[in-house]
Chain A
Amino acid sequence: QSVLTQPPSASGTPGQRVTFSCSGSTSNIGNNVVNWYQQLPGTAPKLLIYSSNQRPSGVPDRFSGSKSGTSASLAISGLQSEDEATYYCAAWDDRLHVVFGGGTKLTVL
Chain B
Amino acid sequence: QIQLVQSGAEMKKPGASVKVSCKASGYTFTSHGINWVRQAPGQGLEWMGWVSTYNGNTKYAQNFEGRVTVTTDTFTSTAYMELKSLRSDDTAVYYCARPTGGGYLPLGFWGQGTLVTVSS
Q: Which residues of A contact B (CB under 8 A)?
A: 2, 33, 35, 37, 39, 44-47, 50-51, 56, 88, 90-92, 96-103
Contact = CB atoms under 8 A, between A and B. Distances in A.
B17 to A, nearest CB: 23
Given A92-B105, A103-B44, A103-B45, A97 B61 contact: yes
A100 B61 contact: no
Contact of A98 (B47, B112, B113): B47
A46 B111 CA distance: 11
Interface in B68-111: 95, 97, 100, 104-108, 110-111
A2 B62 CA distance: 13
Contacts, number: 65
Contacts of B44: 2, 88, 100-103
Interface residues on B, range: 20 to 34
Contacts of A35: 105-107
A90 B110 contact: no
B107 A45 contact: yes
B61 A88 contact: no
A90 B45 contact: yes
Contact of A88 (B35, B45, B97, B100): B45
Contacts of B108: 47, 50, 56
Given A96-B61, A97-B59, A47 B106 contact: yes
A101 B111 CA distance: 20
A96 B107 contact: no
B42 to A, nearest CB: 10
